[in-house]
Amino acid sequence: MTPTPLARAAPLAQIAPQVIPTISQTPSFSVAASEEKMVLKYALNNMATEDLHKQFLNSVDKLLPEQVEELNRVMEMTGIVLASSRKIVKDDTVRHCLRCHYTYFERNNGRRACNIPHQHPIQDPHSAEVGRILYPCCGYRSHVGYKVVHECFTGRHTTLGGNVNYGTRSVRTCEQARCFQNMRQA
């Protein structure tokens, strides 16, 4: 007859007593750690993306160097700061935006770096409403006297022509903008 698992186990007298860790000694079960996670998740879930972005940008220059290093380390762990970010910051290649025709460094590029203003508006031909205007550059409609709250285009600078919508009246090609007229042909 084969002994049962219980029969094969060491007698209770031979088992050394082990201390059961408390909640505070076990970080994965720590109430404080889990509360901190909840606080962070709550803050992130209840803050508008634009506000979060603005708050981070405004805070970076106020941090001590070691705080910036720690924040970068945490952001690398979450995949927000990538190895390519470090490479881009060191890149001194001068680029030319094919949309707005400004020169820039990629490290200064961002979601609001490239701005194309609206052209002058016209009376909206598709509206019987007096004072209704149309910006022919992009089709944006508004009313006379209302403040235009955005540009015709706001976004990242680009060196790729495929990213530019040359179909709008506000965006010109480099040839039309005469970007390279003073450069010699090789």
Q: CA-based angle 20:21:24, to the nearest 5?
A: 155
Asked if residue 92 lies in contact with residue 105, where contact means CB atoms within 8 angstroms, the answer is yes
Which two structure tokens, joined as six digits, stand for 2? 């084969």
- Residue 75: Cβ-neighbour burial (10 angstroms; 0-12, 13-18, 19+): middle
Q: How many CA atoms lie within 13 A of 83 on its CB side?
A: 0
Lowest mean pLDDT among 31-40, 54-63, 68-77, 107-116: 31-40
* pLDDT band of 81, cuts 50, 70, 90: confident
Give 33-98 as a DSSP string: HHHHHHHHHHHHHTS-HHHHHHHHHHHHTTS-HHHHHHHHHHHHHTTSS-HHHHHHHH---EEE-T
Asked if residue 159 lies in contact with residue 101, where contact means CB atoms within 8 angstroms, the answer is no
Query: What mean pLDDT is predicted for residues 20-44?
Result: 72
**Predicted TM-score (pTM) of this structure:** 0.65
Query: What mean pLDDT is predicted for residues 5-31?
Result: 57
**What are the beta bridge partners of residue 171?**
none
Position of tokens 């990213």? Answer: 163
pLDDT at 151 over 80: yes
What pLDDT score does 29 carry?
Answer: 53
What pLDDT score does 16 carry?
Answer: 61
pLDDT per residue as tens digits for the range 59-72 = 999 999 999 999 99
pLDDT at 80 over 80: yes
